[in-house]
Amino acid sequence: MRAYLKPVFKTVRNYLSLVKFSHTVFALPFAAIGYTLGAIQPGNHPDVWLFLKVILCMILARTAAMAFNRWADREIDSKNERTKIREIPAGTISAKAALTLVILSSVLFMLTTYFINSICFYLSPVDLLVILGYSYTKRFTWLCHIVLGIGLSLAPIGAYLAVTGVFDWLPLLFSFTVLTWVGGFDVIYALQDEGFDKSEQLHSVPAYFGKKNALIISSFLHLLTIALVITAGEVGKFGPVFWIGAVLFSILIIYQHTLVKPDDLSRVNLAFATTNGIASIVFASFVISELVWK
């Protein structure tokens, strides 16, 4: 039985690696914030089934986006020493299988939004256009990092819409927070490919402005992130629990800038994945605790 399941587990592991499932931790906690914000509004209440549908939408949308990114970049990835070990260039998953996963995830995403409410369903193609379209932006603009931020920023406002069916400023502020935060740390991640991007005429902040200036731009985006968190705290009239979370979140996103230097990228993954993953979970935990407590 164990021998029979071994290839199944290996295939599942390959697909989870293809879509970097562990990176769901970046936006998912902010989706939980958006859901909780909606659930505490007058006339609304927590709904476990709706929450599960919101989480499913997050997973399906992100799976579609990442699988499409790997499919669209398969030839580029095969030329890059850092990325040629990815599943499609390495041959562990075929390009056709990856594209099939994109189509299946996209259809299931739209179907799930249909069972949430009409506004989420009508906006689902727009969501897919943004998150799938991101994969081609690096071919013509260094603003690709901002487009990625926009894609992930749809999580909190999307979750809020799932509960309330209407837009509001507070969840939008959390969306803008995600936008600048993700854009900033994606610039740090892109430092690894500065030389390759230049040689292949691909666009990124490091390739266009250089590593030193890229880190300055990333720092500026993260200062905006902190300013947006403070603004959200003021607009939402949050109490001390929120502000403790805001301080910890700010410390963590500042800390990542101490890990990376223009001439030393050895700790990029620690700065990009580990620090930001912890920051997201910590911040959401405090914000949700504050909302529930209120």
User: For residue 3, what pLDDT is reported?
Assistant: 60
Q: Which domain holds residue 285?
A: 23-293
Report pLDDT digits (tens) over 247-269: 999 999 999 999 999 999 999 98
What digits encode the pLDDT tens for the residues 82-119? Answer: 999 999 999 999 999 999 999 999 999 999 999 999 99
Q: Considering the domain boundaries, does residue 8 fall inside one? A: no
- In this structure, what CATH number is given to the domain that contains residue 285? 1.10.357.140
Report if residue 3 sits inside a domain.
no
Is residue 198 one of the residues assigned to a domain?
yes
Residue 97 near residue 104, CB atoms below 8 Å: no
Task: For 62-75, write each residue's pLDDT tens digit.
Answer: 999 999 999 999 99
Report yes or no on 30 lying in a domain: yes
SS3 264: strand
What pLDDT band is residue 236 in, cutting at 50, 70 and 90? very high
Instruction: Spell out a b/e string for 128-143, using b for 16 or more CB atoms within 10 Å of the CB, else e.
Output: bebbbebbebbeeebb
Q: Is residue 2 part of a domain?
A: no
The pLDDT assigned to 25 comes to: 83
Helix (H/G/I), strand (E/B), else coil: 139: coil
Is the dihedral angle over the CA atoms 102, 55, 174, 120 positive or is it negative? positive
Does pLDDT of 4 surpass 70? no
Looking at the structure of the chain, the number of domains it has is 1
Mean per-residue pLDDT, 15-37? 90
Handedness of CA 123, 128, 131, 134 (dihedral sign): negative
- pLDDT on residue 211: 97
Average pLDDT for 37-59: 94
Q: What pLDDT does 49 receive?
A: 96
How high is the pLDDT of residue 205?
98
Half-sphere exposure of 157 (CA within 13 A, CB side): 22
Residue 10 lies in a domain: no
Report the share of the chain in percent with pLDDT over 90. 85
**Is 16 inside any structural domain?**
no
Average pLDDT, rounded, for the chain: 94
Residue 9 forms part of a structural domain = no
